[in-house]
């Protein structure tokens, strides 16, 4: 896979995953609707800072681990493939029928820094983010590039996409919130993303060190 094709494939995949409604989208939508755009922006910065820290941790550890041990590579590869397979099947076979901002119904009085910390901890305390990066990013590393450093570059691209998506949510809170509650659209996004994850699972299972 060339550098250009790897980046184009990653941009497509990461963009689809970014816009698929989930916990982060719910937090940003809810905060923008009830707390205002400044606090929503701080929550989005916290969420993406958490992704960036996970990306750095995974990239630093993953490169050394994969370079040192063939068994570790195979173990990580199959664990990642099984995880992606499970995640893809869940989204493909059991797509959600509706979406709405989750948790925190009442509008608490948090400062802007408080919303940053809330977004940050939401990702840092979720080990699935790290596991997902381990299984997802190496598939888009072109031949001849260091897995660790290039994975971090990909994580930075994912963070940039996340910030752009968050900005879109904040600037169009009301129409987007109504759109994302449409069951047909939520089901379509889940099924497309689930199918994509199944393709990634097969690619990872067949990957060579």
Token look-up 């816009």 returns 19
Residue 144 pLDDT class (50, 70, 90 cuts): confident
Return the SS3 of 80.
helix
Could you count the other beta carbons within 10 Å of the beta carbon of residue 167?
Answer: 15
**CA gap 190, 30 in Å, rounded:** 21
Token look-up 């994302």 returns 180
Residue 98 pLDDT class (50, 70, 90 cuts): low
Q: Residue 109 above 50 pLDDT?
A: no
The per-residue pLDDT for range 39-92, each reduced to its tens digit, is 889 999 999 999 999 888 888 876 566 656 778 777 767 887 887 788 788 878
- Domain residues for 146? 3-205
**CA gap 147, 161 in Å, rounded:** 21
Q: Tokens at residue 101, please?
A: 């901002």
137 vs 66, which has greater pLDDT?
Answer: 137
The per-residue pLDDT for range 7-46, each reduced to its tens digit, is 999 999 899 888 887 778 878 877 787 677 888 899 999 9
In terms of Cα–Cα distance, which of 162, 199, 175 is closest to 15?
162
Contact in structure between 26 and 134 (CB atoms under 8 Å) = no
Task: Count how many domains the chain has.
Answer: 1
Contact in structure between 52 and 159 (CB atoms under 8 Å) = yes
Q: What confidence score (pLDDT) does residue 10 get?
A: 92
Could you count the other beta carbons within 10 Å of the beta carbon of residue 26?
Answer: 18
Contact in structure between 59 and 197 (CB atoms under 8 Å) = no
**CA gap 62, 67 in Å, rounded:** 8
Contact in structure between 187 and 10 (CB atoms under 8 Å) = no
């Amino acid at each position: 896979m060339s550098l250009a094709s790897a980046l184009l494939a990653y941009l497509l995949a990461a963009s689809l995953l970014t816009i698929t409604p989930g916990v982060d989208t719910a937090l940003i939508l809810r905060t923008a609707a009830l707390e205002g755009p400044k606090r929503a922006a701080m929550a989005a910065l916290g969420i993406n800072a958490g992704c960036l820290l996970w990306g750095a941790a995974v990239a630093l550890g993953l490169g050394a681990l994969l370079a040192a041990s063939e068994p570790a590579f195979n173990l990580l590869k199959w664990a990642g493939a099984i995880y992606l397979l499970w995640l893809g099947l869940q989204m493909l076979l059991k797509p959600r029928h509706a979406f709405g901002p989750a948790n925190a119904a009442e509008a608490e009085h948090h400062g802007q820094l408080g919303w940053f910390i809330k977004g940050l901890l939401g990702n840092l305390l979720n080990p699935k983010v790290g596991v997902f990066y381990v299984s997802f990013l190496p598939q888009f590393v072109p031949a001849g590039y260091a897995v660790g450093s290039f994975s971090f570059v990909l994580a930075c691209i994912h963070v940039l996409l996340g910030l752009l998506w968050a900005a879109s949510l904040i600037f169009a809170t009301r129409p987007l919130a109504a759109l994302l509650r449409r069951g047909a659209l939520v089901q379509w996004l889940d099924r497309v993303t689930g199918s994509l994850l199944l393709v990634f699972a097969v690619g990872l299972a067949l990957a060579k060190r």
